Amino acid sequence: MAPRSTQVAVIGGGPGGYAAAFLAADLGLQVTLVDAEPNPGGVCLYRGCIPSKALLHVAKVIGEARQAREWGVTFGDPQINVDALRTWKEGVVGKLTGGLGDLCRRRKIDFVQGRAVFRDANALIVRTESGTEEVVAFEHAILATGSFPASLPNLGADSPRILDSTAGLALPDIPESLLVIGGGYIGLELGSVYAALGSRVSVVEMTSGLLPGVDRDLVRVLSRRLKERFDAVMLETTVTALQEESQGIRARFEGHGATEPEQVYERVLVAVGRRPQTDGLGLENTRVALDARGFVQVDPQRRTHEPTIYAIGDITGEPMLAHKAAHEGRVAAEAITGKKTAFEPQAIPAVVFTDPEIAWCGLTESQAKQQQRDVTVARFPWAASGRALTLGHSDGVTKLVIDPETQRVLGVGIAGSGAGEMIAEGVLAVEMAALASDLSLSIHPHPTLSESLMEAADVFFGQSTHVYRPPRAR
């Protein structure tokens, strides 16, 4: 049988892969997209960003209904129909992934459901769901196979009661108690979902704080709320053993923060990071090289050591975020057409979609400290924001990390409701090399939380209407 041939073969249909495939097709290239699922979407749509955000929305509604008591409105305890909730969440995923399949067809992209292995630097062998094998010859390939959950294999138990993020998002039921191992993005987002649905949630985190690496003043806003919602947050603690018993999983703890030396939980969620998906791809048949942590090495155009093969998304390293994958995908597609392009963002935003949300972009205060870089941090506390008070969210904070000499905005951090939406203005400011005066002089609508960005710039000049600070020259 003659091999199928294509100008661009994209392996993996996540936000990196499908963004690359769609732009390559829009730029006039003939594209084949291979993915194991029936439609594009990848981890983000099937078992990541989208299902988690659907569930977090429900958690937020439950939280606000509870908070409404403070405003004189009392709702009864929520009645949760887990089957209906799961069906709604799966419906959201189905609509989006089905829509992507449709967009593929409209762009005349050849979508192949199967697993691809590199035969060499110019051809893939694709094993389809039905077990057939097909050779796909390519001029260029874009590798976008993403990542999978890291596990803790040495802890002992192998049980259906121990969940990874995929199993946790499947929402099998609402356990009475849940131990979350890992106080990072997934642990806190999924822990928040289960706590809102009624589970008693405990988090164990091996470092000295939740969300390691994120500025502490932002994390503090979230930690205060999580202390009320979670049964326990055990910092500087690890789990040394997991053992299955009739009542659940017995976990043994070691470390400063352990509330008990051991305890039994109905379920355990392991959320200790993700690993690049590089196994079983036939990379040994190519010159694609990995770094010490197993990520694919790429140049600024996302070209690997093998000139015909590009790599994008989680497989190329941190930050493992969907929008970073998509942006890299678009760069790779453009590079293949010969366009002078490079992946060199000044600001990749990050958002933890808890309640409150934490968001940041550009230079963080902790990075500035590590780099011994002189910066001025201008903070606007939400207690001074009219909008925040009307929403019952006065504990938030917006801050700008500013170069004191040029007055350029280098980074932005926000903790509070809607931080994930607001950070986009920060990204634009950092990417456009905005000065603090640009933010200060741009009229922001009142009353909105977005005003906090303008007022943080005003704080920098000591001229915020709602915060008094000694003035500084413009």
The annotated binding site for FAD is made up of: 53, 145-147, 314, 320-323
List b or e across 424-434, with b for residues whose CB sees 16 or more CB atoms inside 10 angstroms: ebbbebbeeeb
Of 6 and 238, nearer to ligand NAD (C-beta) is 238
Confirm whether 446 is a catalytic residue: yes
The CA distances from residue 271 to 47, 181, 187, 201, in Å, are: 14, 6, 5, 14
Which partner from the list ligand FAD, ligand NAD, none does 144 bind, CB cut-off 5 to 8 Å by kind?
ligand FAD
* Strand pairing class (147-149; 162-163): unpaired
For ligand FAD, which stretch binds (CB under 6 A), given 38-46, 217-225, 290-298, 431-439?
A: 38-46
Chain positions 440 to 459 lying near ligand FAD, rule: CB under 6 A, are: none
Which partner from the list ligand FAD, ligand NAD, none does 272 bind, CB cut-off 5 to 8 Å by kind?
ligand NAD
Cis peptide before 160 (omega within 30 of 0): no
3-state SS class at 439 = helix
Which partner from the list ligand NAD, ligand FAD, none does 411 bind, CB cut-off 5 to 8 Å by kind?
none
Q: What are phi and psi of 353, to 5 degrees?
A: -90, 45
35 near ligand FAD, judged by CB under 6 A: yes
204 near ligand NAD, judged by CB under 6 A: yes
The active-site residue out of 140, 393, 444, 446 is 446
Of 165 and 440, nearer to ligand NAD (C-beta) is 165
242 near ligand NAD, judged by CB under 6 A: no
Give dist(CA 32, CA 213) in Å, integer.
39
Cis peptide before 447 (omega within 30 of 0): yes
Give the closest residue to 279 by CA, choosing from 311, 247, 315, 255: 315
Q: Which of 205, 215, 306, 314 binds ligand FAD (CB under 6 A)?
A: 314
End-to-end CA distance of the chain: 72
Which partner from the list ligand NAD, ligand FAD, none does 317 bind, CB cut-off 5 to 8 Å by kind?
none
The CA distances from residue 84 to 38, 55, 163, 301, in Å, are: 24, 12, 21, 45
- Residue holding tokens 């590199």? 118
243: part of which helix (H) or strand (E)?
strand 237-245
Q: Which of 261, 319, 392, 404 binds ligand NAD (CB under 6 A)?
A: 319
Cβ–Cβ < 8 Å for 255, 237: yes
For ligand FAD, which stretch binds (CB under 6 A), given 11-19, 98-106, 128-136, 241-249?
A: 11-19
Chain positions 112 to 171 lying near ligand FAD, rule: CB under 6 A, are: 115-116, 144-147, 165
* Strand pairing class (133-143; 177-181): unpaired
Chain positions 173 to 232 lying near ligand FAD, rule: CB under 6 A, are: 186
347 near ligand NAD, judged by CB under 6 A: no
Cβ–Cβ < 8 Å for 411, 361: yes
DSSP state of 259: S
Of 271 and 449, nearer to ligand NAD (C-beta) is 271
Residues that are catalytic: 446
Site for ligand NAD, rule CB under 6 A: 152, 181-187, 189, 204-207, 212, 238-239, 271-274, 319-321, 351-353
Binding site for ligand FAD (CB under 6 A): 11-17, 34-37, 42-44, 48-49, 52-53, 115-116, 144-147, 165, 186, 277, 281, 313-315, 320-323, 325, 353
